[in-house]
A and B are shown apart, each in its own frame.
Chain A
């Protein structure tokens, strides 16, 4: 397959994948900084304010009209955690001009747009535009308050918060509610300046273009600070659990949300990572996995029962929605599955099925521009160079003994339950 071509402009790393496979240009900009209580909230607010207007297009309505004029270019941002970093990702998805009657380069126009958003914001009196800061503080506050609305996600985040109570990872990527009020247009602008000077910055473009073309366009469109790119720091994934933490929250819910947090002690850059992927896949990654079969199909306790591996933090989480009264039974069944993994009760069928599913996923991601970007970005985050093809080979080579070794390192850390308000 084609490879990303790499370049660099001041503090920005460039990654370009020339391909004619898609009808679009896919653009992603990642800006990452170590999660820190002091900066997490203002950094989360920055993209909200940046997407309101730029120096050249100060009015939000005109700013959005520009996107419509680019044939409804997709533009959005996200703030999330990877390892112990807080990452702000801007995304653009714009149609290749050959499909529409346009004489302008959609790629040039999109990079100009993104460059303006990131490096040429609307400034008044040495600060961001006050009206936008105020409005977006409200938006951020609403977003943080809305976490509770989705009970499945809320329970998953509460579980991680309890589990990582003494680590930066406890922080929500959107920051803390009580830190929002004191942010001012000028304090936020200072944070923005520091963020641009310190964050690791990576720009990805996938589409019918070249590194040369992108480099030229970015040079014109981005007012970059001088310097060299920053690297990401690796989180500590080794963690010794002294005692299993049990937490129950109560709220008006119809269904109990059960979440378990496991410490894997293995990170993306570790050689055991392919075996950890297999561990998660056999345990609960798929509808053929132990959790689905035993919690759902055999016991009829749940509609969903699955596990998810966060390789950047070395954590595996289990989630299921159950009747309140079935808490003990569900926990017992889940713990049995963890134990059977340790005992090496792994059938050849489970192994083959899981290898086939992981391999399929690794091959499929080549069909999506954003998935290719996300996969490649793992290497930037961890410094570990491992192509999808290499990971696929390593997964194929995992033995039952490798998985048991992983299972024996896995430590249950936290059992979290969200249930109704009635006392049992």
Chain B
């Protein structure tokens, strides 16, 4: 067991990689009643073509990682939610582009709940009948998202940005793609991605580190896992350009929703370079278009944006893009003004004062995040799967300079790389 001290944030982490490859991290939080645990696999919606070791590549239906997440909750003995409920734990799971996370939070019976979490995720139970039954439920989940304008404009943007990379595929798939899922394909994905060496257990809250490690070591030692070869993920070559410059969908909305996305030409960063790139871009966007920027105030005063307006930056080794937008009465005017302002800034650069404020804001936001066990577990796992340490993020923010940010500004805003997604009222 390795002890990692982070004195600047007053936290201590304990870490161990077990013999079967499972990585376990414990972050004790003194004085907390709650324990929050996540058991995550580095497997998400983008992992739809893969091989193991020297095996042949396999292509699986879209939405299968999410389908698998749903089906894991069913055991031969019944629904696992009931077991967690009996142990006073609130359980859940989610699937993102690059990971699937199972979790619980509880204030008592922590050992029992940890055992339950590990055991149910390590015990798949799929039958023809239970797979069929789930299709009806997931179709309703897909329909629910279809009615959600925020979701439609966001995923519409990603679809407009990417030609080939599976990040543009809906996480839940479509009614058609999930129709093709069988128990055999589920087992195949399960065997590949739920091997302990592809997983991370994170426990944070009112626990003692050594007790958690003892429990997990014993639990894993009692189970047999075949050693597994390396997982290879295959992605078609993604062209530099965006797929669709402008994508419009129709839904009943009071005002159009409009998002701008800039696609990075150069994806493929990993490790430290990826983290530095992400931190610098987020700082740059905050200084450029955050709520205290001149541009934000200008747009707000002209009634072109509202409180829903925001920005984010998503990056992984396979894709990287920014998202800027919100509700607007006039998407074209909004896009035009953002373009004019950015082109002006490309000449002058971001001001030093704006940069310093953005930096303070990001540092404060990061530290506030550390109050939340859920956020810590989520962020830690996300960064870990990209070979980064979440606790380094603070240092990267501190080290970032005005020159870095201005260079990022010039690289990122290439209007050839812009895609726009709009959701508007039918017929408007």
Residue in chain B with minimal CB distance to A93: B368
Is B303 an interface residue, CB under 8 A from the partner?
yes
Secondary structure call for the A interface: helix
Q: What string of 1s and 0s marks CB contacts (under 8 Å) between B261-295 and chain A?
A: 00000000000000000000000000000111010
Provided the pairs A95-B364, A303-B138 are in contact, do residues A255 and B146 lie with their beta carbons within 8 angstroms? yes
| Set of chain A residues within 8 Å of B32, measured between Cβ atoms | 21, 367
Q: What string of 1s and 0s marks CB contacts (under 8 Å) between B360-378 and chain A?
A: 1111110110111100000
- State A145–B308 Cα separation when bound (angstroms): 13
Tell me the smallest distance from the CB of B113 to a CB of chain A, in Å: 10
B327–A142 contact, CB under 8 A?
Answer: yes
Provided the pairs A99-B367, A151-B147 are in contact, do residues A353 and B86 lie with their beta carbons within 8 angstroms? yes
A367–B373 contact, CB under 8 A?
Answer: yes
B358–A68 contact, CB under 8 A?
Answer: yes
- State A73–B367 Cα separation when bound (angstroms): 11
Provided the pairs A71-B367, A255-B140, A323-B140 are in contact, do residues A287 and B85 lie with their beta carbons within 8 angstroms? yes
| Interface hits, A126-150 → B, CB 8 Å | 135, 138-139, 142-143, 145-150
Is B231 an interface residue, CB under 8 A from the partner?
no
The 3 closest A-B pairs by CB, nearest first: A71-B364, A72-B361, A300-B136
The listed residue (A139, A303, A349, A356) touching B144 by CB distance below 8 A is A303
B82–A353 contact, CB under 8 A?
Answer: yes
- State A178–B362 Cα separation when bound (angstroms): 40
A146–B327 contact, CB under 8 A?
Answer: yes
Provided the pairs A360-B89, A363-B34 are in contact, do residues A65 and B107 lie with their beta carbons within 8 angstroms? no
| Set of chain A residues within 8 Å of B81, measured between Cβ atoms | 286-288, 292
The listed residue (B85, B294, B367) touching A61 by CB distance below 8 A is B294
B291–A64 contact, CB under 8 A?
Answer: yes
A73–B106 contact, CB under 8 A?
Answer: no
Q: A71-B364, A368-B371 are in contact. List 16 more A-B contacts (CB 8 A).
A: A72-B361, A100-B363, A135-B301, A146-B254, A146-B255, A149-B150, A149-B253, A296-B137, A302-B137, A303-B144, A323-B143, A349-B86, A353-B82, A359-B107, A360-B106, A368-B372
| Interface hits, A152-187 → B, CB 8 Å | 152
Would you list 14 pairs from A and B whose C-beta atoms are within 8 A, ordered by A residue?
A71-B361, A72-B361, A100-B363, A142-B327, A149-B150, A149-B253, A149-B257, A151-B148, A255-B147, A286-B90, A360-B88, A360-B89, A360-B106, A363-B108
A360–B140 contact, CB under 8 A?
Answer: no
The listed residue (A24, A139, A292, A356) touching B306 by CB distance below 8 A is A139
Provided the pairs A73-B364, A100-B364, A303-B140 are in contact, do residues A356 and B251 lie with their beta carbons within 8 angstroms? no
Tell me the smallest distance from the CB of A103 to a CB of chain B, in Å: 14
- State A296–B85 Cα separation when bound (angstroms): 17
Stretch in A30-38, A225-233, A246-254, A405-413 with 4+ CB within 8 Å of B: A246-254
Q: What string of 1s and 0s marks CB contacts (under 8 Å) between B98-127 and chain A?
A: 000000011110000000000000000000
Tell me the smallest distance from the CB of A64 to a CB of chain B, in Å: 4
Is A342 an interface residue, CB under 8 A from the partner?
no
- State A22–B32 Cα separation when bound (angstroms): 10
Is A369 an interface residue, CB under 8 A from the partner?
yes
